Amino acid sequence: MADLDELEGYFDDAARLHIRSDFGSKCVLCKRPLQIEEGHFIPLLYQRRMYLKCLVSSYTRVLAPYEARNGLYACRPCARRWLMYTDKDDEVPISVLVSCKPLLLYIDHVLDLAGRDPTCLQTLDEMFEDLEKDPSSTPERQHAAPFLHCYELRPVFPPTESTSLETLRVRPCPTSQLLSPDATVYCVLDHDEGSTSAPLSSRTAPLFSTCEDGAKTLWRIPMRSFGLMFVYSEQLVLDGTCDPVLFNIFQKVHIRLFDRWGRGLPYNYLMERPRSIFIKPEDELRSLDIPNMGKPSPTARAARACALPSLSDIITGISSLVLALVIYLCCRSCNSK
């Protein structure tokens, strides 16, 4: 498993400059202004298994992991503690950014439409690009549109003695309040004070308990691929005990995205440029001159562009599809009774 330090060279200079500009030279979570040497660039998609999930479930229309839309920008404490794998005993972070409940419910709604209308937009990126263009034509769009690009910071594991009091302190940033159809109050930490008239305020967000004002905290993170954010979340949403409702919705959407037939995808549907990011197993990285799964050399990139999935990859993908289909059919059978 790659850690933060091993991924420092993942993006080239142009992409790093773009990512830093996207986040206004501030940490995505705590909003602390960062000097050039203080910021860390976190790729959302960088592992072979994450690539295969994207390929099987068609989360995003274009797979371009070395571009800025695949990267987050964070200070070292937030990156190592809250967002990214560490180099200590192969630990995972204590939290993960997950699409908020209103957006997950909207995905579920669109997938319902896809079963009846094969022309319905299919990938997660396209679903939300479409929602941005038309935020109000249906009640479902009206409910979801205010939450575009909003993510919750959820625990990866149940609380322990060392994590139960974990709290993230956010520096003053634009904030706004939203009320969801189920009467949940959200405090949204908006992206850029230069583009909004919302008041600036600081916030304390406990990981395992509610905020003092009773509102759930959301981070609005535009300009990132929603599909890549989803696959990043999927690798870390491991346990439903911390938020069973959100976990169940996330798992339902995850299973439905595996069901390519139910989504109305044509049998020959392909994402753009999928081979260009094919990541070889670690034991093959040396022969391709790809140190630490970072950005490949020109030789390695050419080799990746020509790479095809192995037989075991194909079998794994087919097995996952069959299992997901069986689960989906069982769920439909139970619901019809």
- In a domain, residue 331? The reply is no
Per-residue pLDDT band at 231 (split at 50, 70, 90): confident
Question: What pLDDT digit, counting tens, does each position of 88-106 carry?
Answer: 555 678 888 999 999 999 9
Structure tokens at 110: 């669109």
Label the pairing between strands 185-189 and 200-206. unpaired
Per-residue pLDDT band at 65 (split at 50, 70, 90): confident
| End-to-end Cα distance, the chain | 44
pLDDT, residue 287, reads 31
Per-residue pLDDT band at 243 (split at 50, 70, 90): confident
Question: What pLDDT digit, counting tens, does each position of 141-198 carry?
Answer: 999 999 999 999 988 888 888 888 899 999 999 999 999 988 899 999 987 755 556 6
- In a domain, residue 315? The reply is no
The reported pTM is 0.76
The residue that leads in pLDDT, 232 or 319, is 232
- In a domain, residue 323? The reply is no
Question: What pLDDT digit, counting tens, does each position of 106-133 carry?
Answer: 999 888 876 666 555 568 888 898 899 9
Structure tokens at 101: 């409940």
In total, how many domains does the chain have? 1
- In a domain, residue 98? The reply is yes
Nearest to residue 335, comparing CAs of 232, 264, 225, 256? 256
Asked if residue 306 has pLDDT above 60, the reply is: no
Average pLDDT score, the chain: 76
Instruction: Give the domain range for residue 254.
Output: 5-272
Per-residue pLDDT band at 139 (split at 50, 70, 90): very high
Put residue 264 in one of left, alpha, beta given phi > 0 → left and psi -120 to 50 → alpha: left
Question: What pLDDT digit, counting tens, does each position of 10-31 carry?
Answer: 899 999 999 999 999 999 999 9
- In a domain, residue 129? The reply is yes
Assess contact for 156 and 239: CB atoms under 8 A.
yes
- In a domain, residue 55? The reply is yes
- In a domain, residue 58? The reply is yes
Per-residue pLDDT band at 41 (split at 50, 70, 90): very high
- In a domain, residue 134? The reply is yes
By residue count, the chain amounts to 337
